[in-house]
Structure 1
Amino acid sequence: MTTITLDLSPDTYQRLLVEAAQRGAPVEAVAAKLLAEQLADVSLSERERATAVLRAAGLLTELSPEEKERAARSTATLEEVQAALAQGGGPTLSELVLEQRGPKV
């Protein structure tokens, strides 16, 4: 491990103390973790960062084994799927959402 010395503003240090207290960890450990997380994000692509954020929020999950098997068995091409969806008729999802929201005030 390498040791560094940081000059922090009183406000930044106070926020770091609060964060450490909330996590129940030493200030040094919290600072090291925050730096590591921030620097790790820099190396990720925009897509990888978005995926990580969605996964952390519980909005992105992995397919179940059954879903993976079903996807592997599928023989539909993109064009066939687009054609099937185009046959649906009726309003688009955007139109339904706008209708449910009601008129702008």
Structure 2
Amino acid sequence: MPGRNIRVSGSPSTWTLPASRPRSAPSATPTTVSALMESTIGLFKTELIKPGRPWRTLSQVELATAEWIDWYCHRRLHGEIGHIPPAEYETNYYRATTKPQVTTTI
């Protein structure tokens, strides 16, 4: 089946998650990572690659891909996180969970 030959570098034993992830968040397993990758790749193909046919050059595909990724991360409103873009949600999360640095002067 086309599009099934996906390679992930490293092995499951070397995959890590940020230490600041919530304790209630499930750990990423190869199965969940693979499912997420396949879902995103399918969305990418449906929204960008197939409607844009015929692609005349590799440069066209590369530029369109960069633009789509920028939209996907910075402007797409995601319903599961309060209808805000993922990048904004991530910024808000780290702003809320980062402890301020305490400095003293003597």
Please give the TM-score of this superposition, normalised by the length of structure 2. Answer: 0.29
Larger radius of gyration: 1
Please give the TM-score of this superposition, normalised by the length of structure 1. Answer: 0.29
